[in-house]
Amino acid sequence: MKSRKERKKLILDLMANEFYVPMKEKELAVLMQVDAKDRPEMKSILEELLAEQKIEISKRGKYQLLDPKNVKTDGLITGTFISNRNGFGFVEVDGRDDDLYIPEQYTGGAFHLDTVQCSIIPGTKGRRVEAKVVKILERGTSRIVGTYQKSNKSFGFVVPDNQKLASDIYIRVEDSKGAMDGHKVVVDLKSYGDDRHSPEGVITEILGHINDPGVDILSIVKGFGLPMEFPEKVMNQAEKVKDSIIEADINGREDLRDLLMVTIDGLDAKDLDDAVSLEMDGEDYVLGVHIADVSNYVQENSALDHEALDRGTSVYLVDRVIPMLPHRLSNGICSLNAGEDRLALSCIMTINPSGKVIDHRIVESVINVDHRMDYPSVNKIIDIKDEEERDKFPDVVPMLDKMYELSLIIREARKKRGGIDFDFPESKFKLDENGKPLEIVPYERNAATRLIEDFMLMANETVAEHYFWMEVPFVYRTHDKPDPEKVQKLATFINNYGYHIHMAQDEVHPKEFQKLLGEIEGSPEADMIARITLRSMKQAKYTIDCTGHFGLAAKYYCHFTSPIRRYPDLQIHRIIKDDIRGRLKGEKIKHYDKILFNVAERSSKMERRADEAERETNKLKKCQYMEDHIGEEFEGVVSGVTEWGIYVELPNTIEGMVHVSKLPGDFYVYDEVGYKMAGTKHGKSYELGQPVKIVVDSVDSLRKKRKNNFSEMRQLWLRKQRSW
């Protein structure tokens, strides 16, 4: 057996070879034939070589010998600092599956979302690699939203809404903008504090009192930096766009206005960016997916384009939509409204009875939608076969029936190759005029929503494969294979319920997840196992490399179908049109090579921001809803376990925690691999998926006032010291 020193030399010799190309950790392991049991040590050796400044890791997670020019500071690994209310933090590093753990004494004054350089702490043990921050490269947080609490005549504090921030913000009275106790405020930071002093800030905006209607969601919007208004220059450009298409726009386009087609969306949707059509060619289906040609109105490098890239995506919150494009475009000329001529990009696919695309065309088109239809209506037509509903649309019912037939074929084909379908119910909120939640119910998918999903997925795959084989710059939607350790943990957990996942050489095929979801369907533990399965997977993202989509079991995938609300779709529409018009060569290719990496990175980042904001508003409204149900009893299932208690999820998707101090009698709490987290030696056990009854005891709606505790007294004392 080779020693650690010999293995380090082996890696360095490999990277020094003139034929070596930078590789990811897993690729190195495969090339060097490292057994699964030895991979943790290989990972540790790579981290040690990074710490010794002998190798470096690229933004894409690939290892190579360190270029001497890149040795600039003692900070060896660059990443984003994620703080924790308890003082410690983590550093997220591009290309690393696991974050670096930063103990409280080694945060180096880093603030939430700062870009930092850190070094590995040699010899650290535990689940995470430990490191210390040695340099702050760039501040990531300059503005905070929180609740103002006045302490005395001279100063007050702002308690941040973001629970990850470890310190309250000190506000001098002259910087308070006249804020009163309980006001929600926006704060610009003046200083970030240190071991002895709190961060200090200036209140720049008062959003309203904590209990005023709408202030809760507005606080979240401001906290995530979501832009509410469009700049004047952007609005001026939008106003200049004509309300209807002109003859010059139609020239050179394929005229599909006589083709029978419909839009199928939610009842309240206003930005309709996709229409579908279907004809038969013998036994083959000719499916048309027609997408609004937004790029015709949003020109590259225009004010509209820069704003759209900055936003990245539309954001859908419980009480509002923050659009990527001004409503004049998204709800007007770019919306495929029935009965109106519209410009589109059409992907027309010929699909055989087995669900395989045997031919396709991607064209610029002009279309005219026959009917604006909604999911409930179409579901009644194709699944329930409601005669009254079918009689309302006699001209399109035969086409819809054939669409349903094709949808089932496509889904079965995707299932055979291993596509995973997580059918989680989303939360649907009914609010009163003041934004108070009256009802929360699961929003279930139906045959109509699945039909549109199937057709959009097919178009996205077809477009991605087309441009992959053209070998031109493009933006793909990729989903990497899950981390073997997480899959192994999942396998251990589901084994307790009699289920199994097959792994070969640390690899798992998506069919294994699909098979598992099929086996658990209808069982009491189905939702819980499905959620844990989802957590074992990586997050999908936008990339310029076509590495496949694990969850869909697709070799080629992109986002082509929603240019009104997603920037990557708008970006690839431009590439497609340049290709159709014969301009995708020479300087154009160089141009796209130059910009697409940043487009993909920015879009992924903005997507994560939007998802987090949506989750926060959902959590807030769920808390507000449960405030009216304190003392009531509910049935639920154990959805999570920690050392401090268990999480219980109710049928309406609301989740709450039962602290260990509130668990009756003697008890055990087990994590997903059967490890005892807390409890007595003998007693009742609690584990994931277990049905339980709970009583709502209290609600933390993120609106609590700051308590006068020892922490506050210490902050006041340190402030006095500062004034001395």
Mean pLDDT score of the chain, rounded to an integer?
A: 87
pLDDT tens digits for range 497-554: 788 888 877 788 888 888 888 888 877 777 778 878 888 888 999 999 999 999 999 9
| pLDDT bracket for residue 371 (50, 70, 90) | very high
Is there a single domain that holds both residue 688 and residue 715?
Answer: no
Identity (one letter) of the amino acid at 301?
A: N
Q: Please name which of 361, 357, 400 lies closest in space to residue 379, comparing C-alpha atoms.
A: 400
Range of the domain at 84: 4-103+112-122
Q: Specify the pLDDT at position 396.
A: 97
User: Given a cut of 60, is residue 69 above it in pLDDT?
Assistant: no
User: Given a cut of 80, is residue 641 above it in pLDDT?
Assistant: no
Identify the three-state secondary structure at position 367: strand
Is there a single domain that holds both residue 473 and residue 506?
Answer: no
Of the residues 535, 566, 599, the one at which a domain ends: 535
Burial 673-691 (b: 16+ CB within 10 A, else e): eeeebbbeeeeeebbbbbe
Tell me if 131 is assigned to some domain.
Answer: no
Tell me if 135 is assigned to some domain.
Answer: no
- Mean pLDDT, rounded, for 321-348: 96
| pLDDT bracket for residue 677 (50, 70, 90) | very low
What is the DSSP annotation of 158-206? Answer: EEES-TT--SPEEEEGGGSTT--TTEEEEEEEEE---SSS--EEEEEEE
Tell me if 702 is assigned to some domain.
Answer: no
Pairing between strand 371-374 and 262-265? parallel
| pLDDT bracket for residue 674 (50, 70, 90) | very low
Is there a single domain that holds both residue 459 and residue 511?
Answer: no
Is there a single domain that holds both residue 318 and residue 386?
Answer: yes
> How many CA atoms does the CB half-sphere of 431 hold within 13 Å?
19
- Mean pLDDT, rounded, for 25-48: 84
Q: Specify the pLDDT at position 59.
A: 65
Q: How many CB atoms lie within 10 A of CB 96?
A: 17
Is there a single domain that holds both residue 280 and residue 256?
Answer: yes
- Higher local confidence (pLDDT), 715 or 591: 591
Q: How far is CA 707 from CA 244, 430, 441, 704, 713, in A?
A: 59, 33, 34, 9, 10
CATH of the domain at 32: 1.10.10
Q: Specify the pLDDT at position 390.
A: 97
- Paired with 541 in beta bridges are 478
Q: Specify the pLDDT at position 494.
A: 83
- Paired with 543 in beta bridges are 476
Structure tokens at 591: 């141009």
The residue written with tokens 């010794």 in the block is 52
Q: Please name which of 123, 357, 172, 361 lies closest in space to residue 256, comparing C-alpha atoms.
A: 361
Q: Specify the pLDDT at position 284.
A: 98
- Paired with 64 in beta bridges are 56
Tell me if 398 is assigned to some domain.
Answer: yes
List Cβ neighbours of 113 (8 Å cut-off, separation of 6 or more): 80, 81, 82, 140, 141
**Gap between the Cα atoms of 243 and 230, Å rounded:** 19
| pLDDT bracket for residue 706 (50, 70, 90) | very low
Total of domains in the chain: 5
pLDDT tens digits for range 566-622: 999 999 999 999 999 999 999 999 999 999 999 999 999 999 999 999 999 999 999
DSSP H helical ranges for 36-145: 39-51
Q: Specify the pLDDT at position 548.
A: 94
| pLDDT bracket for residue 695 (50, 70, 90) | very high
Most confident of 121-130, 259-268, 428-437, 637-646: 259-268
pLDDT tens digits for range 377-421: 999 999 999 999 999 999 999 999 999 999 999 999 999 999 988
| pLDDT bracket for residue 13 (50, 70, 90) | confident
User: Given a cut of 90, is residue 286 above it in pLDDT?
Assistant: yes
User: Given a cut of 50, is residue 716 above it in pLDDT?
Assistant: no
List Cβ neighbours of 66 (8 Å cut-off, separation of 6 or more): 53, 54, 55, 56
Beta carbons of 478 and 461 less than 8 angstroms apart: no
Tell the burial category of 32 from Cβ atoms under 10 Å away from its Cβ (0-12, 13-18, 19+). Answer: middle
Q: Specify the pLDDT at position 700.
A: 76
Q: Specify the pLDDT at position 580.
A: 97
**Gap between the Cα atoms of 167 and 721, Å rounded:** 17
Tell me if 597 is assigned to some domain.
Answer: yes
Tell me if 516 is assigned to some domain.
Answer: yes
Is there a single domain that holds both residue 377 and residue 323?
Answer: yes
**Looking at 122-126, 370-374, 662-666, 716-720, which range is the least confident one?**
716-720
Is there a single domain that holds both residue 392 and residue 435?
Answer: yes
Is there a single domain that holds both residue 527 and residue 595?
Answer: no
Of the residues 574, 593, 618, the one at which a domain ends: 618
CATH of the domain at 183: 2.40.50.700
Is there a single domain that holds both residue 151 and residue 243?
Answer: no
Of the residues 569, 594, 618, the one at which a domain ends: 618
User: Given a cut of 60, is residue 671 above it in pLDDT?
Assistant: no
> How many CA atoms does the CB half-sphere of 585 hold within 13 Å?
4
Is there a single domain that holds both residue 719 and residue 654?
Answer: no
Is there a single domain that holds both residue 67 and residue 34?
Answer: yes
- Higher local confidence (pLDDT), 575 or 69: 575
Identity (one letter) of the amino acid at 628?
A: D
User: Given a cut of 70, is residue 71 above it in pLDDT?
Assistant: no
Is there a single domain that holds both residue 362 and residue 298?
Answer: yes
Q: Would you say how long the chain is, in residues?
A: 724
- Mean pLDDT, rounded, for 59-85: 73
Tell me if 137 is assigned to some domain.
Answer: no
Burial 626-658 (b: 16+ CB within 10 A, else e): beeeeeeebebbbbbbeeebbbbbbebbbebbb
What is the DSSP annotation of 210-236? Answer: TTSTTHHHHHHHHHTT---S--HHHHH
- Mean pLDDT, rounded, for 236-252: 92
- Higher local confidence (pLDDT), 47 or 667: 47
- Mean pLDDT, rounded, for 136-147: 92
Q: Specify the pLDDT at position 414.
A: 94
| pLDDT bracket for residue 702 (50, 70, 90) | low
Pairing between strand 667-670 and 676-679? antiparallel
Tell me if 624 is assigned to some domain.
Answer: no
| pLDDT bracket for residue 125 (50, 70, 90) | low
